[in-house]
Structure formats: C-alpha cells, structure tokens
C-alpha cells in the first residue's frame, strides 16, 4: 500500500510446482526491497493442492499473497497437462492471443492501475499493465529453435515455427530479462541466445537449510507438479532403497517427506524429472541427482536439461543402471557440484539469484 492506495506485484509462471513457488519467492523478495506493503497476485492454477503447498512453503507470508482463482482459470489453457507436448503447443499457439487479452481485462478490472510491477518466470504471455520483468533458465523460443530438425522430438516442424514466432514476440516485449546460470543451454559453449541483453544470475531458489534429522538411508523422488508424467518415476522403485517423496500417492510404498530433506546425509540420491528447481536443490545440497529418462512426447526443455546436467557432471540420466552403479558415481557428482558452486560464488558473489534479480529490479524502479 502506497499513500493509502493498495499496490500489487503481479506474477505469472509456467506449469509445475517449482515455478509458482520460485516466482512467489521472487515477488516477496522484490516487495521486501521496495520497503512498502505490496500484495502479491498469484494465479491459482492447481486448486487446493497449490494452496496447500504454498502454505507449507511460505507460512505466515501467505498473508501477503492473493491467490486469484479467476486468473488461474484464464491461465490454465496456456499450460501443459495430460497430453503430448505437441498437442499442448498447438493449443497454446491457437489460444495465447485470446487468453492474454482475457487475462489483461480481468487484472485491470480487478486491480485497476495499482499493479506496480509484473514478474514473469518463463513467460507464456505478455500484457504490459506495469513495468514488466522476465526471468528464465531457457527461453522458449530458443528451446523450440533447438528442437527443430531434431529426430527425437515428436513435434511437427510447422508447429515449431509458429510457436517460435509467437514466443519471440512475447519474450522480446520485456525490456529487462534475466537468465539463470546454470540453465538449459549452459552445456553448449557455442550457444547464442536470441535474448542477447538478458542478465545472468545464479540459481533462483532459496539457499537450503541443512537437514540433520535422523532418517533411514534412501532416495528422494520429487514427483512433478505436471499431471500425467508420474509414470516416469516408476523406475525409482527398482532401485531397492527406502523412497521418500513429496507425493506418496504417486509412488506406492513410499514415505512422505518435504523436499528440505534432500540435503540430509541419509538421502543418497535425488530422483526427479530435470526441472531446474530439482536440479538446483540437488546441486546446492550436493545430493547426487538422477534424472528421469527423456520421453519423446514431453517438453523439449527436459531433453536439453538432461543433456546439460550430464555434460556439466551435476546429474545422471537413469537408463536402468543398478543401484550400485549409480552410487559409484556419487562422489564424482558431488565434486562437480561443489566446483560449480565455487565458480558461481566467485562469478556472482552469491548463490542467491532470487535476491540478485530482485535487487536489480528495485534499483531500476526506485
């Protein structure tokens, strides 16, 4: 609230659990630095499950957050769900223009001109109500451009070309952008992004607190927030150790544990789809990371993420290896993770990209 007038920070994000948590944390960091009371507008896309996860993660700071159900319903058609990625992309191309206008109308009608800043993580649309900032680990236009001509991708070339054009229009509309290090194309030394002016920041996830509670030795499985891909985690059951997970319903016989247990010495491996929240959490806690195998019908980002973590040495793609073989790689992976953290600390002076991006934003608007 500024001079008695309510003020808001608007957020948007891509599909999954990590994106809405990371974006809300980013917005709260910006609000703290602005030193004025702002409410954070977060689209409620995943219903009560999203509400519950956010309460668990953010605690009392939920008082600063507006979970907007209408905004969530308008954003949901732009999200990937229980379908092939090609089917999703075709729907996104055909609906993004209409949904963007509906979202803008709703936000302007509901919050007036009191939105002071927009924060978009891996943006799927642009509206331009207020000064807007975008942050991602890999721009969608770049990811889809790299997918063109790749025989492993089950996406028609003409559809890729249409989507690339639309994403380039959206992504280029943001005057200030950030790209994380490491990110989707960090393993490609010759890669040149179309977003030439993006500022690099370290991982945008809060530095984890050490976990010292006593646990039986086991692995942790992060079940993706994107529905329909839980089958990828069936492979984890073959590893033969106690399985801890954030969603026991998805893995029969597993034990419930929040992701903050990943840094516990009892957790020998972290098994997950290679979204960056999962990769960064493993890297920062030096917990060896095992990526779910690539599915040709999945998001192309995951294909490149799998390549990235293996090339950088901070992860292994599961291809049916024995538990013994995976554990044999642990110390080597831990060493690569430790070295990467040292490089990032020296390069940026911090491992906290969330606050770094927030500081750059508030410096530009105050």
Residue spans per domain, the chain: 8-205+351-365, 218-348
From the DSSP assignment, how many helices (H) and strands (E) are in the chain? 11, 13
Average pLDDT estimate for 152-159: 93
36-66 residue pLDDT tens = 889 999 999 999 999 999 999 999 999 999 9
Tracing tokens 């911090």 back to the chain, one arrives at 350
Tell me what percent of the residues of the chain surpass a pLDDT of 90: 74
The reply to whether the predicted model has a pTM over 0.85 is yes
Alpha-carbon dihedral 28, 32, 33, 39, rounded to 10 degrees: 60
Which candidate, 97, 90, 227, places its Cα nearest to that of 155?
90
CATH ID of 218-348, from 3.30.565.10, 3.30.1370.100, 3.40.50.2000, 1.20.150.20: 3.40.50.2000
Fold identical between 8-205+351-365 and 218-348?
yes
Domain covering 8-205+351-365 assigned CATH 3.20.20.120 in the classification: no
Residue 253 confidence class, pLDDT cut points 50, 70, 90:
confident
| pLDDT tops 70 at residue 231 | no
Tracing tokens 């779910």 back to the chain, one arrives at 292
Residue 324 confidence class, pLDDT cut points 50, 70, 90:
confident
| pLDDT tops 80 at residue 210 | no
User: Considering the chain, what is the average pLDDT of its residues?
Assistant: 92
CA distance 168 to 314: 30
Average pLDDT estimate for 317-339: 91
Tell me what percent of the residues of the chain surpass a pLDDT of 70: 96
Residue 3 confidence class, pLDDT cut points 50, 70, 90:
low
| pLDDT tops 90 at residue 115 | yes
- In this predicted structure, what is the pLDDT of residue 196? 81
């Amino acid at each position: 609230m500024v001079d008695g007038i309510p003020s808001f920070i608007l957020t948007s994000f891509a599909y999954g659990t990590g994106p809405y948590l990371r974006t809300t944390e980013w917005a709260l960091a910006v609000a703290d630095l602005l030193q004025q009371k702002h409410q954070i507008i977060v689209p409620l896309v995943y219903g009560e499950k999203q509400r519950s996860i956010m309460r668990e993660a953010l605690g009392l700071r939920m008082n600063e957050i507006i979970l907007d159900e209408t905004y969530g319903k308008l954003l949901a058609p732009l999200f990937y769900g229980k379908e092939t990625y090609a089917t999703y992309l075709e729907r996104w191309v055909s609906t993004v223009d209409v949904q963007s206008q509906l979202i803008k109308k709703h936000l302007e009608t509901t919050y007036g001109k009191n939105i002071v800043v927009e924060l978009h993580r891996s943006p799927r649309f642009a509206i331009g109500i207020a000064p807007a900032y975008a942050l991602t680990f890999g721009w969608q236009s770049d990811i889809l451009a790299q997918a063109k001509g790749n025989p492993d991708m089950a996406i028609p070339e003409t559809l890729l070309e249409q989507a690339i054009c639309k994403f380039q229009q959206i992504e280029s509309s943001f005057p200030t952008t950030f790209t994380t290090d490491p990110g989707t194309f960090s393993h490609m030394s010759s890669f040149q992004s179309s977003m030439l002016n993006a500022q690099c920041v370290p991982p945008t996830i809060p530095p984890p607190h050490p976990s010292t509670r006593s646990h039986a030795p086991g692995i942790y499985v992060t079940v993706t927030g994107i529905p329909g891909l839980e089958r990828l985690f069936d492979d984890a059951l073959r590893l033969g150790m106690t399985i801890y997970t954030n969603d026991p319903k998805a893995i029969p016989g597993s034990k419930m544990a929040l992701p903050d247990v990943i840094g516990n010495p009892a957790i020998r491996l972290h098994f997950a789809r290679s979204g960056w929240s999962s990769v960064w959490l493993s890297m920062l806690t030096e917990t060896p990371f095992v990526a779910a195998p690539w599915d040709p019908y999945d998001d192309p980002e995951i294909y490149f993420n799998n390549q990235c973590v293996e090339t950088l040495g901070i992860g292994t793609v599961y291809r049916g290896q024995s538990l013994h073989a995976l554990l044999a790689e642990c110390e080597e992976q831990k060493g690569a993770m430790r070295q990467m953290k040292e490089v990032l600390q020296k390069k940026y002076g911090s491992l906290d990209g969330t606050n770094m991006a927030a500081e750059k934003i508030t410096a530009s608007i105050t």
